[in-house]
Every structure is written in structure tokens, then in C-alpha cells.
Amino acid sequence: MTGLPEHLFTDPVRQSLATRHRHFAIGDGDALRYPADVAPFATCPPHKTAMQQLSSLLAPGESVWIFANGHPSIAGLDFERTLDCFQMVLPSNVAVQDVCAQIVPLDETHASEMIALTNIAFPGFFRARTCQMGSYFGVRNSDGALIAMAGERLMLDRYPEISGVCTHPDHRGRGLAAALIARLVDEHRRRGLVSWLHVSCSNQRAIELYQRFGFEIARKVPLLLVTQRG
């Protein structure tokens, strides 16, 4: 099995902002974040100085997710809730079968459609410029409406994250998500990259989809929602 190295994946946001997504990074100390219109993620070591730096990067009332690691509380920041996720990886020996679907590329001009679709499944995570983080693809119905999509989010060296996998409830069961994942995985393998993803531990439907595709659970990680007080 191809694993996900712990030193990279304990906090993949930091690794992404330090490498492939360096151009997105906001902050000049230990705390870094993505722009608010790109992704609701930040990285911050678990000490008070870094937490204070993180606080200075947030607008009043703004929230970001960080990978939780015993972070201390400080005045001005509230810990809202924790979201347990699995990191899953696709072993290189898993065969990927083609699934028939009319897949089209997506970009910033389709942002409003992508936000509307992803808000059905995971509201608030997809933003106006999220599609700048990597390649995104979709499937439209006969009327031209976007009914399924998937793309790339965190970008570590050799490890692009598959994300934004979403199908409108009226069009599930047609293999559209699998077709879109296959499109991304095919491109990753052509470039010698390892496909991986995050999924909420409570999202059993999605976990089963990824496991049928061949993804395996690498580890469980907690995300912490941190909010700057208004």
C-alpha cells in the first residue's frame, strides 16, 4: 500500500502553503492561512504566540479550520467544534476503470454553480476562488445545469488532494462521482502523483464510495473550527 507520511499529513495545510500553494499563503510568522475567498483553512503550531498570530490574521467573526493538536486557548479566539476526518489514499496497484460520462473542465467563471452544488453537501467549504487551488471538472445535464463535480484542493509535493466531490441528489447512483474521481486519478498517475482525500468520519455514504473505488483509510485526524470574536 502507498501510505501518507505522518510528517507531511499531520498538518497538510502547512505543507501545502509551504510548497505548491506558497503563493496563497497569508502571514509571516508561525501561523499561515489561505485567503478567505480561496479556502477556510489555516495552520498554526500549538503554542500561544502562534495562536495570537492566527488571531491577527482573522477578521472579527471569521472562522477557519486548523488541524487540532492540543492548541491552547487565548483571549479573542473561540474553539467552536471539532470535525473528525479520515485521510484516505489510493494505492498505486488499484486499477481505475473508465466510466462513461461527459466530463467538462470548470474554472472561476463557474464558481457560483460550484458553490451552489457543494453547499448541498458541505456548506461553506467551497469559495469563489477555491477552483484556483487545482484542476476541477464537472458533469452537466441536458439543460446545461451542473449536476456533479470534483477537483483538487491541498497540493503537497507529489500528493494532490481530491476534493469537492459532489453529485446533486437527483442524479446520484449514476456513477458520476466515480467518473470524475477516475478523471483526476488518471491525471495524477500520468504525472507520478499519489491521490488522497479527506472525508468526514460521519459521512458513511462517501466513505463507502471511496472504498469501492479502492481508497484505503490512512489515519484519523481532527479539524478544529476556530473563530475570531467580533
C-alpha–C-alpha distance, residues 164 and 150, integer Å: 5
Q: Quick one: 73 and 97 in the same domain?
A: no
Q: Quick one: 101 and 200 in the same domain?
A: yes
Q: Quick one: 78 and 92 in the same domain?
A: no
Q: Quick one: 144 and 53 in the same domain?
A: no
Query: Which residues on adjacent β-strands are paired with residue 31?
Result: none
Per-residue pLDDT of the chain (230 residues; tens, 9 = 90+): 458 999 999 999 999 999 999 999 999 899 999 999 999 999 999 999 999 999 999 999 999 999 999 999 999 999 999 999 999 999 999 998 776 678 999 999 999 999 999 999 999 999 999 999 999 999 999 999 999 999 999 999 999 999 999 999 999 999 999 999 999 999 999 999 999 999 999 999 999 999 999 999 999 999 999 999 98
User: Shortest CA distance to 50 belongs to which of 76, 71, 21, 20?
Assistant: 71
Q: Quick one: 136 and 69 in the same domain?
A: no
104: left (phi over 0), alpha (psi -120 to 50) or beta: beta
Q: Quick one: 94 and 203 in the same domain?
A: yes
Specify if 211 maps to a domain: yes
Structural domains in the chain (count): 2
The pair phi, psi for residue 172, each rounded to 5°, is -75, 160
Q: Quick one: 190 and 203 in the same domain?
A: yes
Q: Quick one: 14 and 95 in the same domain?
A: no
Specify if 216 maps to a domain: yes
Asked if 177 and 209 touch (Cβ cutoff 8 Å), the reply is yes
Q: Over the range 210-226, which residues count as b (16 or more CB within 10 Å of their CB) and which as e? A: beebbbbebeebebbbb
190: left (phi over 0), alpha (psi -120 to 50) or beta: alpha
Q: Quick one: 116 and 50 in the same domain?
A: no
Q: Quick one: 111 and 187 in the same domain?
A: yes
Q: Quick one: 64 and 103 in the same domain?
A: no
Specify if 1 maps to a domain: no
The CATH number given to whatever domain includes residue 13 is: 3.40.630.30
Q: Which structural domain, as residue segments, surrounds residue 38?
A: 6-84+223-228
